[in-house]
Every structure is written in C-alpha cells, then in structure tokens.
Structure 1
Amino acid sequence: MFKHRDVDSERGMRRTLFLQVRLEVRLRDGARPTKCKPRKYPPHIRRFLHEFNQRLVDLGLVYEIPKSRWSSPELPVKKSADLLDLRQTVSYRVTSAQTDIMAAVMPILSLVVERARGTKHFGLFDFLKGFWQVPLAELCQEWFSYMTDEKIFTPRRVPQGSSDAAIQFQKTMEECFASLLYKHLLIWIDDLLLYADDIDTYLDKLAEFFSLQDQFGLKLSAKKASMYQTEVKWCGRLISGDGVRHDPERIDTLRAIPYPTTAGELQQFVCAIKWIRESIVDFARQVASLQRRLDAALADTKRTKRAAAGIKIELMQEECGAYDQVKRILATASTLVMG
C-alpha cells in the first residue's frame, strides 16, 4: 500500500492521465445549442458553488468560458441533514435528449456475482471522483458547459449525469483491468470487488490490481477501501465463502415502505424490487398489476421522477394485495442463498 500511497490524493488529479480513451459524444442530426438562465441561490449555496468550482478550476478539471453557446443549469443537492453538506449536480436533460446514445452492454449483476461464489478473500474499492478521471473529447466539452450564479464552466472530464457517462466509464474500467476482470475482479461502474480462493492468490492479485491502477493513473478512495475481508457487501449483496445473499438491511427497508400515494413512490418501489427479481418466484406475474397501474398513471406524461412525484394515486384492492404479496416474498429473500 505504501508504494501506492497517492491513490487518494485529490492533487493527483492534476496528473496527466494515462488513459487513452476519450468520451466522444455524438449529437443527433438537427441538434441545437441549449441555453439556461442564471438562477438565484441562497447565500450558503452560492458560497459552496463558488468554492467548489474554484477548486475544480485549480485542479484543471474545468475551465471558465465567458461566452458559450451551450449552458445547462447547476442543481446543488443536499447529501445529508447538514445544511452545508452539498453535492454539485447539473441537469443535462435537454442536452441528453439531443444525444445519439451509444449502445453497450452493462453487466447483469445477478450473473456476474456468481464469479465470486465460494471464494473466501475479498477487497472492496471505489474510485475517487470516478467520472472525473476519464477525459472528455475536446470537441464535446462546450456541449456540457454549466452555469452557476456567477460564471459558466466547461468540463475537461466526463460529467456525471450526461447520457453516455456511466456506460463509457464502465467500459473504460473493464479495459483497464481486463487481465483481472471476471477472474478475480468485478466492476459495477465505480464499485470494485476483488476476490480469490486463498490468501496467497489474493495478495498476488491485489498487487496486480494496484499495479494496473498506477499504470493507468487512476485514483482510489482510501476511505472507501476495505481489504482482507472474509465477507463483504457489494451492490446490495452479501458475499462470503458460504455463498451470495441479499443484504437483509436493504430487504427490511423495502418491506417497511407503506402503500404508495403517488406514481413516483410506486415507481421507486417497482424499480427497487427489480434489483432482486431473481429471488421473487414468477416475478412478472407478481408485479403485473402494480406495473399496469404505474403505466396507466404515467401514460400521458414523461416517465421522469419529477413528473411521477406529482401524480396522486390510490391502490385498488387487487393492487394492495400484490403489494403485500411482494413484501411477504421479500421477507424470505434475505435468508435464502442466491442460486
């Protein structure tokens, strides 16, 4: 570890990237520049935006662009109850609607996790500001410019929230760690799981993992790293030498959700249970009435979280029965070893 002690260095983000891949976004024919208007923010958010974006400029991750033909609105969100604990996000909705989205395959978690079944030694890793470590092609940068109350900034790295960001990051990391992938390493965007049957193999693959990380100039979060574990929680699954099972805390959270009163709440529940559909016998039939109700509620509007949140609903008797049945099935999901 000491050889790679700079893995968590934010200043290391200044370093020239060894990654040869650049995300090149393609716009659809007839795409037109999108421009937003300046927004008013409370004083504490204005201070956050000023300080955060100045840090990004200092690190060389974004640059100021006084005049831009493209600009998307800055949308700071709270990370916790702390008023000053904020995350910078940008609404690229209009830009993404004009993007020719790339086609690629994301891993099917319920299948790839089987690669780690029966192994006994694990390590968890997370990238430091993952998307910001992948360069954005220069010709695309202005399209992802964003506006604060003070200035317009243009990113040099892949911005989270852009339509191709997640799949591009996934495929880039798969290329970087190809020698370990699906043999001793699983990758789900910026969540990595290292695994091995015995401690000697684990140490050997851990060294190879760090060597590749250093070779490609990638930065890992030391705070989120966990090594030499015999049981880990990865992507909602508990994995150990005994097998793979769902995280009981996650199951309990789902079972505690009351009947939805908006289409948004129903949409959230249906999406959540799809993550554990392999543990629900005859999944499609069990959720059919709930899916029909959701489709009907969203038939005349966009299927976005914001639109769904504003649509009031009241489940009928059949739908309440299906809702209760799914939650009863969930009660056994956390105690069953998957597969």
Structure 2
Amino acid sequence: MKKTKNHLSANCSTLNVIGETTLEINIHGLKTEVIADVATNLITDLILGSDWIQQQILKILWKYGKLFDISEPSKIDITLKNAIDTGTHRPIHTPPYRKSNKDQETLNKETDKLLKNGIIEHSTSPWSSPVVLVKKKDGTTRFCVDYRRLNQITTKDAFPLPRIDDIYDQLTKATHFTKFDFKSGYFQVPLDKADRPKTAFSTRDGHFQFKVLPQGLTNGPPTFQRIVNQILGPNRWKNVLAYIDDIIIYSKNFSEHIRHIEEVCALLHESNFKLNVDKCEIARTEILFLGHAIKAGTIKPDPDNIRGLTETREPTSAEEAFRFVKAAECLPDDTLSFKLQTDACVDGIGAVLPQVTPDEDRPLVFMSKKLTKTQTNWPPIEQECYAIVQAIDKWDKYLR
C-alpha cells in the first residue's frame, strides 16, 4: 500500500487515497486489468475516471466489433478439401447406440439446434458413425460423434502442432499478454461437399452429415492449426502464437502490445473468424495459457492442475515413482545455468538436466534409453559418450 494522499474528485471534494489495488474490468464480456486507487471516503461504491481505461484498446475493440458478434453463425472464407482421405476404402456404417429417453430428448434438441444453425444437414450417405453424449464438469452434455472407425482408415495429416515448450520459451520474454479463443472454432470451417458424406451420423429420428469441420476427426487439430497459421502469417513467433484454437498475443511493452492486438484483430476480421467473448482476456500482465500461469520471465503450472501432485501419496514402487517424476517435470529458468549429467550401464543409458541454484541442483527433465544388442557390446567409454550425445541432441536448445 502507498502512503495516504489526497485527490480532488470531479465535484472538487477531497478523496483520501490510502493505496492501490488491481481490478478486473469486464466490458461486454471482454476482460482486462486496471490499477485503481483505494479511498476511504467515497460517496458511491466506485468512481471511474477517464484515465482508468486504455482508450487505444477500446478503439480497437469497437473497430473490430464484428469479431465478437456471435448473434449469427459465421464461417470463414476457406473451404477444406480432401480433409478426410480414406482412399478406396468402402463406406463404414455403425448403427446408432441405444439411448435413454432423457438422452434421446437431449440428442433431438441438439440435432435441431445444429440444423437451425447450418452446422449439419440431412444426409443419404452410406457412411454412418454413432453419436455419444458426454457429461461435462458443469453438468451439461456435450454432443459428440464416435469417429474411431473412420479415423482408423483415414490418411493422417502430418502438419505439426507447435511444441508447447517452444511456446513457453517465447512467452517468458514478454510482459503483456492477450488471449483469444475461437467461438466453436471447428464449426466456423466449411467442409468440402465431397467430404461431408463421411461425417454422417444417425439418430433414432434421422440421418445427418456435417457441413463444417466436426470435432473428433483424426485430422481435425492439424487441419485447424494449418488454417490459423495461414491466417496469422509472418506474425507467428514474433508477437502471436496459436495452439489449435487458442491464440495468445505477447509483447515486451504496452505500446507494442496495442499495435500487436490491432494487427491480429485485423487478420482475424479479414478471415471472418468469430471469437468467444467469454474466454478472451485483454492486455494482462499475467495470464493462464495451456495450463500454466505466465508473466514476465516466469511460467508456473496452474495451481488447480498441480493439486493432484501436491496431494498425492508417496510412491511405493519404481513404476509409480517414474510416473510421478514424469508428471512433476519442471519448467526451465533462463536466468540459471544448466548442468548435464549422464550415465551408462550394461543395457541402457540415462541422463538428467538440472539447473544450478544457490541451494542445490534442481532436476528439470529426465531421459532413459535401452541399448540395442550391438550397443551392449560397445566398450564402456563408447556407451558413456553415446549417452552424452543423445542427451545433447535431446536438450540442445537449452545447452547451446
């Protein structure tokens, strides 16, 4: 808290300010943080002056307001072609699963809504996959199609998703963050008419197929990632990153951040994408992204995600200990030095990458590998060198 100070309000009365606090402001669902003075003698619960909000942000949000307008379903100006390549395989047909009367009512309502919004259409396709209803944490039900048999015969799209550790390495260099989330992102991507019959599913009351990219397809994530990468273009890895349908804008200072937000909004607006206003966070100095709390120079696991680790019982076997170590691997601190430790034995090699702290060497990640029959005949010195080479190759980005 700061020392007590006096300010004049708009009506010239004196405000006794005793400190500052950070508030989360929600404007039509868009969230941002502001620093507010704390006063002891307000005649109302809250006074907002013209300086509490960054006018640049409001200007951008009004300019690209269409991004957040979800009153009508939207589709981007890119149509997927050959997204479900099944070669010459004959159509697969799986009868619908039996449903309780309650689940059937839920399924009928969901199907009617998807038809009304232009997400699905009636079908005469020889293909068919069953529908499953999945209970969500909030008690509602998610409509899903079980595409497992279709996925088994689909040629896999090799387009890569970004490595999460590479994303974290970029974000630790920034001080300001904005997070965008697509509104039902897959449903905004039109599916080519030739692929639609393969997405068909049956219910008790009819046969339907998707007009857009449905969830559950093996090529869904790489396909969506390719589209988003194409839209963001050369801005990627400079000031914006996307992991499937999660976008984060990052900058080294606030003035840069305003410019970066506008650049990304312009690109998304041009593509006709819509964003989920409930999950967008604007101009934060700390933000949750992909399960971690991120702020300048530091990344920490989301406390909700590590509660299972902090409350777990002590491992009682080597297998349990290994699973715990893998789950508890830490994130590196770029300000500390690394130390590579390796070892080799008769039938395997191992390595650990600790960071040197003032108190101890803190292990970050571990590696182990079984030697082949030929490698077990190598002299010990060659096995030791092989362990070093493998470890350096795996953790090169941290060691060079």
Q: Same fold (TM over 0.5)?
A: yes
3-state SS, counterpart of residue 195 of structure 2: helix
Of 247, 250, 256, 2:311 maps to 256
Pair 1:139–1:227, CA change in 2 (3 A) = same
Distance 1:116 1:55 in 2: 39
Aligned position for 2:78:
19
Contact in 2 for aligned 1:73/1:90 (Cα 8 Å)? yes
Q: Give how far 1:110 is off.
A: 0.5
Name the counterpart of 1:310. none
SS state at 1:77 partner? strand
User: Which residue of 1 is the match for residue 367 of structure 2?
Assistant: 284
**Aligned positions, number:** 278
The structure with the largest strand share of the pair is 2
Q: Does structure 2 retain, via aligned residues, the 8 Å contact 1:113–1:186? A: no
Is the 8 Å Cα contact of residues 22 and 135 (structure 1) preserved in structure 2?
no
Q: In the superposition, relative to structure 1, how do residues 281 and 240 fare at CA in structure 2: closer, same or farther (>3 Å)?
A: closer
Structure 1, residues 245-274: CA drift from partner, whole Å, max 9, x if none?
3333322223435699xxxxx8xx959946
Structure 2 CA distance for partners of 1:160 and 1:16, relative to 1, 3 Å: closer
Q: How does 1:31-70 map to 2 (within 5 A)?
A: 31-65=89-123, 67-70=124-127
Mapped partners of 2:259, 2:156: distance in 1 = 39
- Give the Cα separation in 2 of the matches to 1:256 and 1:98: 42
Q: Choose which of 260, 263, 269 in structure 2 pairs with 1:205.
A: 260
Bigger radius of gyration among the two: 2
When residues 214 and 12 of structure 1 are mapped into structure 2, their CA distance, relative to the original with a 3 A threshold, is farther
Structure with greater helix share of residues = 1
Partner of 2:255: helix, strand, or coil? helix
Deviation string 1:289-308 (CA, Å, 9 cap, x unpaired) is 9xxxxxxxxxxxxxxxxxxx
CA RMSD of aligned residues (A): 2.9
Distance in 2 between the 1:272 and 1:91 partners? 34
Is 1:2 aligned to residue 62 of structure 2?
yes
Q: Single out whichever of 96-105 and 16-25 deviates more from structure 2.
A: 16-25
- For CA contacts below 8 A with separation 6 or more, give which structure has more relative contact order: 1
Distance 1:18 1:246, change over 3 A: same
Secondary structure of the structure 2 residue equivalent to 1:215: helix
8 Å CA contact 1:19–1:217 kept in 2: the answer is: no
Whether the aligned pair in 2 keeps the contact of 1:6 and 1:12 (CA below 8 Å) is no
Is 1:78 the counterpart of 2:131 in the alignment? no
1:295 alignment counterpart = none
The one-letter amino acid of 2:78's match is L
Secondary structure of 1:138's aligned partner: coil
Aligned-partner residue type, residue 180 of structure 1? N
Counterpart code for 2:76: L
**Ranges in structure 1 where 5+ consecutive residues have no aligned partner:** 261-265, 290-337
Distance in 2, Cα, partners of 1:104 & 1:277 = 28
Is 1:170 the counterpart of 2:170 in the alignment?
no
What is the CA–CA distance in structure 1 between the aligned matches of 2:326 and 2:277, rounded to whole Å? 31
Identity over aligned pairs, percent: 22
Secondary structure, aligned partner of 1:76: strand
Q: What is the CA–CA distance in structure 2 between the aligned matches of 1:278 and 1:163, rounded to whole Å?
A: 29
String of CA shifts for 1:293-338, please: whole Å, max 9, x gaps.
xxxxxxxxxxxxxxxxxxxxxxxxxxxxxxxxxxxxxxxxxxxxx9
TM-score between the two structures when normalised by the length of structure 2: 0.63
Aligned to 2:144: 89
